[in-house]
Structures are given as structure tokens and as C-alpha cells.
Chain A
Amino acid sequence: MKFSQEQMERYSRHIILNEVGVKGQIKLLESKVLIIGTGGLGAPAAMYLAAAGVGTIGLVDADTVELSNLQRQIIHSTKDVGKPKVISGKETINDMNPDVKVMTYHEWVSSANITDIIKDQDYDFIIDGTDNFPAKFLINDACVLLHKPFSHAGIIRFSGQTMTYVPGQGPCYRCVFLNPPAPDLVPSCKEAGVLGVMGGIMGTIQASEAIKYLLGIGDLLTGRLLVFEALDMEFRTVKLASRTNCVVCGENPTLKDLIDYEQRACEL
């Protein structure tokens, strides 16, 4: 492909980088990333991936924009309150970068639809920007079964964590966390506050991992969990090992069908 004058300018700071260059930028323009959840994590991830020129971005979310989202979900604006988040997200991306094709999936992921959504555009990389354990385990299992890399992240209060799964290159989310915690151990949405910037910090790390994976550069958070504590302003990484008896990615996997775990109604 040939760059237009406008693309040459838009992506100049990427093209100058030896690790990106013309070839890398073309790779990004030809890449497809699926973002599940367009909230605290998904909003900044989607915006940076769109700005970077990732050619196809899929947004999955059944929610509509609420005023209480705007403290952290920066892809949505005050005028978007009441609008489906995927539509509001698509409009923001379209305004920012006309090179990006946005696919919208106005639904919650479940065992019934996640495989079809990932296969819809044969996405190259998936970002888990969800806020609940059932969805996180579902995304992990679906990605492992479909041999797709993905970035996990979670935020609560002043803390965040993130890791990257690449098939055959380290543990999956289930190797580390086994099963969702009991629903009554998980703080409900009323109990759980979060500092608005946490989504920005962790979501942009997820976008960085996606871009590095797509370009094939650097070291990913495979086999490592990055933990961030905003109050101490400290990042640390914890080494993680694969579990040979993991039910989904181990040597003799027994999990072949996706599971819909239960969760409290108010988390939906």
C-alpha cells in the first residue's frame, strides 16, 4: 500500500521509529483488535489504538453511557449519556481517525456469542476491558480455545493489574487464578470505587501490549503479572508459571465448552 500525504503526516512519529517504520505502520493499518468492554479500561485502549492507526477495531458492550461513567470512561462525553457505549465509542474513533473501521457489538459476551464475535473479523488480538470475573474467565477460555492472544487487566480503588496471554508462550489467566471467587466475596458495584485514572494507566498499557504484539517488537507481559499501586506510585512484576494441569491450556485440557459463571445482578 501507498501512504497518502495525510497518512504520512498522521503517522510520522511512528514511521520515524526504527521499530515501527513504514512496514510496521502498514501492519497496524492491516490489524484487527477486539476490545471487550468500552468502560474504564476499554475507552483509553480504544482511543490509543485508533490514534495509532489499528485498521479495524471491534467494540463489545451492551451498556448505555451513564453520567457516573464519565469520571473515567474518556471515550464518552456528556452529550452521549443514554447512548449505547459502542455507538458513542465508534463516533469518537471516527472523529479521531478516518483510517479506522469500527465494528460494534451491542451485547454482553457470553458462552453463546463470544466465539462468533472473535471470529467475525478474525481478530488478531483481544483486549479484556471488562469489570467482572465471569467475563474475564470467559474471555480467557475463549481465547485459549481459539488460539488468540489477549491482554487481561483489572482495576479497583487505587490498584491495577495486567498480564498478556500469547498461545504457547506462558500461562493463561486460569493458570494463575484457577476459578472465579465466590460471588459474595466480590465487592458489589456499590462498594467498589475506583480512581478514574486507573483505567487510563492500565488501559494504555493494554494498548501498548497490543501494538507490540502486532508489530512483533519488545517483551510482552507473558509469564508476568504487572501490578500497579497508585497510592505508593509503585509498579512491580510478579513472575508467573504455566500450570501443566490447567483445565484449559494444560497438557490434558478438560474444559472444551465455555462456562457462564454467575454474578450479582447489580454488576451487570
Chain B
Amino acid sequence: MHNRDGFVDITDVVCPITFVKAKIAMEEMESGKILEVKMNDGEPIQNVPRSFKDEGHKVIQVVKNEDGTYSVFIEKDGL
């Protein structure tokens, strides 16, 4: 897995709070730093990485975990 500077678990919330919670975590990071976002399959993995791209952040790596969740590594302002 990729190195990370911050981590947020959004498997405990549902849309649209998934992205809101991840976005709040991202706001606390500095430009160029990597945030790991742990999310559920389905709606979160389909939407949250795309929403981050729309806001200018770069999705570096997506890892499928054994428990069915995903770990998405995003570089702040990377686009």
C-alpha cells in the first residue's frame, strides 16, 4: 500500500456524508500530502474518488481490502 499522511474511515456514514467527511479530512491536509480514505463498495467507491477528482485532487492508488472495503489514496491538489 501507498504511504499516507492522513487517514479517514467513511464506512460508518452514507451519501452524501461520505464525501463530506472525506472532504473535511482533506481540508486539514497540506497541498501535495496523501490522504487514505477507507470506503465501502458500491455507491462510495463509484462517487467519492470522482468527486475528489472534480475538486482537483489526484487518485493515486485504489486497493481492495479483504473485508470488501476499499482504501483510496488521494494526493491533495495533485491534478
Contacts and interface: CB of A to CB of B under 8 A. Distances in A.
B17 A21 contact: no
A15 B20 contact: yes
Contacts of B16: 12-13, 16
A15 B55 contact: no
Interface residues of A, number: 11
B17 A22 contact: no
A23 B21 CA distance: 14
Contacts of A21: 23, 27
A3 B13 CA distance: 15
Interface string A1-22: 0010000110011011010011
Given A22-B27, A23-B27, A8 B21 contact: yes
Interface in B12-43: 16-17, 19-21, 23-24, 27
Contacts of A23: 27
A22 B21 CA distance: 10
A8 B27 contact: no
A198 B19 CA distance: 37
Contacts of A3: 24
Contacts, number: 26
Nearest to B26: A22
A16 B24 contact: no
Contacts of B19: 16
B17 A8 contact: yes
A140 B27 CA distance: 38
B17 A12 contact: yes
B20 A16 contact: yes
A22 B24 contact: yes
Contact of B23 (A9, A13, A15): A15
A18 B17 contact: no
A13 B23 CA distance: 12
B20 A12 contact: yes
A107 B23 CA distance: 44
B10 to A, nearest CB: 11
B24 A8 contact: yes
Contacts of B54: 18
6 contacts: A8-B20, A16-B20, A16-B23, A18-B55, A21-B27, A22-B27
Interface of B: 16-17, 19-21, 23-24, 27, 54-55
Q: What 9 pairs between A and B have smallest CB-CB spacing?
A: A22-B27, A12-B20, A15-B20, A22-B24, A12-B16, A8-B20, A12-B17, A3-B24, A16-B16
